[in-house]
Amino acid sequence: MQVSKFGQRFTRHTGARELMDDLGAALADDQPVMMLGGGNPAHIPAVQDVFRARLRDVMSDEPSFRRMFGNYSDPAGETKFRTALAGLLKREFGWDLGPANIALTAGRQGGFFLLFNLLAGEYPDGSHKRILLPVTPEYIGYEDLGVTENLFIAQRPSIEQLDDQMFKYHVNFADLHAGEDVSAICVSRPTNPTGNMLTDDEILQLAAIAEQRGVPFIIDNAYGMPFPQIVFTDVRPVWSENIILCMSLSKLGLPAIRTGIVIANEEIIDALSGMNAIVNLAVSSVGAVLLQELVESGEIIKLASRVIRPYYQERVEQAVAWVHESLAGTQYRIHKPEGALFLWLWFPGLPNGCEELYRRLKARDVLVVSGQHFFPGIDKDWPHCHECIRVNYSQDRESVRQGIKIIGEEVRRAYEAA
């Protein structure tokens, strides 16, 4: 089959494709697999009970049922939900916004595809603009979203060594340069894959740089405040007319409904609405109708703070203890887990690199994600890119415990064989 350049670009092997292929194969197979690779959130019974109750309410109310299933929404997404969310953010944080500042997308990944290609790539004057990632590693899903090559420019972090085998990445502001070819700055907070939480000071510095350059500052807030609130340190979210804040319903426990949220100035939202109309006609209203009352009442924040956040806090502490137990005596570091669903493990000088470790673990039915996929815009000659893996600690306890035990065995063998 002959395909276009677009077709070639979006059918090639990528880290995101490998990740989702592994996930799909594992779920379709009867063979037990320790799924420590994907980004699927935990199935928290108390949260699922809330969603079931809401779904029953919608099914019993004819107007709500029609809004959820029977009618196209506005190109920016379901209007009542956007109004409710704007009201919630204004009450909680004092942000001066309304429904015209919010657009829904077909998942957060779909939203970033629209945003990145709206802001970067080939411009009418022949110039090529790029997205600056001021600290890597970064989200695996970014790298291959551009319809043109070379969409990202990125920077290595500074690395702070901490006690108890921990470390933490920071933005290296001394070397940070936002050149004329930069059309936006983007970070995830908390960061997927590392669980890093950029400090309030780092965020304000980056926002000031973007403002000075006259480019948007994109903050990927999929795991952050006010929901799903998978955050283990005290932070306060920020937004302004120059900030594009991206959220999602996935990490609340609803990944299958594919609902992304973009909060931005009205010009950006209008552009995304136009793109939605062309690509999708309209986005799904399922998630928006399902959660509208929870957002309107503020119950979604209570659910996040009282159930979701404590659940993941307990799980990450247990997972860290298992890592220390399984990897004791080897060369390992854990990125300080400050949020999200993942542990980021660093094995300095890992013989044969993380790709080989990924294959050895997969052969033992343990699925992780190899670290080199998380460095978009970075020269992969940097050894650190090949010394890390991402581990999802949110799946069932026994799978996580056993998977971490096997990781310890394979890492130990790798070092001993060298």
Write out pLDDT tens, residues 129-160: 999 999 999 999 898 888 888 899 999 999 99
pTM, whole model, 2 decimals?
Answer: 0.93
- The pLDDT assigned to 378 comes to 87
Query: Average pLDDT for residues 367-384, to the nearest whole number?
Result: 91
CATH assignment of 5-47+303-417, among 3.90.1150.10, 3.30.420.40, 3.30.530.80, 3.40.50.720: 3.90.1150.10
Could you tell me which residues come within 8 angstroms of residue 146 by beta carbon, excluding any fewer than 6 positions away?
Answer: 116, 117, 120, 121, 152
- The pLDDT assigned to 159 comes to 97
Name the maximum alpha-carbon separation found in the chain.
66
Instruction: CATH 3.40.640.10 in the chain: give the residue spans.
Output: 71-296
Regarding predicted confidence, which is higher, 40 or 338?
338
The residue type of 38 is G
Domain 71-296 has CATH 3.40.640.10: yes
Instruction: CATH 3.90.1150.10 in the chain: give the residue spans.
Output: 5-47+303-417
State the first-to-last Cα distance of the chain, in angstroms, to the nearest integer: 44
Query: Average pLDDT for residues 67-81, to the nearest whole number?
Result: 94
Residue 108's nearest CA partner among 259, 228, 245, 277 is 259
Regarding predicted confidence, which is higher, 281 or 18?
281
- The pLDDT assigned to 250 comes to 95
Task: State the SS3 of the chain.
Answer: CCCCHHHHHHHCCCHHHHHHHHHHHHHHCCCCCEECCCCCCCCCHHHHHHHHHHHHHHHCCHHHHHHHHHCCCCCCCCHHHHHHHHHHHHHHHCCCCCHHHEEEEEHHHHHHHHHHHHHCEECCCCCEEEEEECCCCCCCCCCCCCCCCCCEEECCCEEEECCCCEEEEECCCCCCCCCCCEEEEEEECCCCCCCCCCCHHHHHHHHHHHHHHCCCEEEECCCCCCCCCCECCCCCCCCCCCEEEEEECHHHCCHHHCEEEEECCHHHHHHHHHHHHHHCCCCCCHHHHHHHHHHHHCHHHHHHHHHHHHHHHHHHHHHHHHHHHHHCCCCCEEECCCECCEEEEECCCCCCHHHHHHHHHHHCCEECEEHHHHCCCCCCCCHHHHCEEEEECCCCHHHHHHHHHHHHHHHHHHHHHC
Write out pLDDT tens, residues 254-281: 999 999 999 999 999 999 999 999 988 8
pLDDT category of residue 246 using cuts at 50, 70 and 90: very high
Query: Average pLDDT for residues 392-411, to the nearest whole number?
Result: 96
Q: Which tokens go with 416? A: 């001993």
Q: Is the pLDDT of residue 408 over 80?
A: yes
- The pLDDT assigned to 163 comes to 96
pLDDT category of residue 14 using cuts at 50, 70 and 90: low
pLDDT category of residue 18 using cuts at 50, 70 and 90: low
- The pLDDT assigned to 31 comes to 67
Pairing of strands 366-367, 34-35: parallel
Write out pLDDT tens, residues 315-365: 999 999 999 999 999 999 999 999 999 999 999 999 999 999 999 999 999
Average pLDDT along the chain: 93
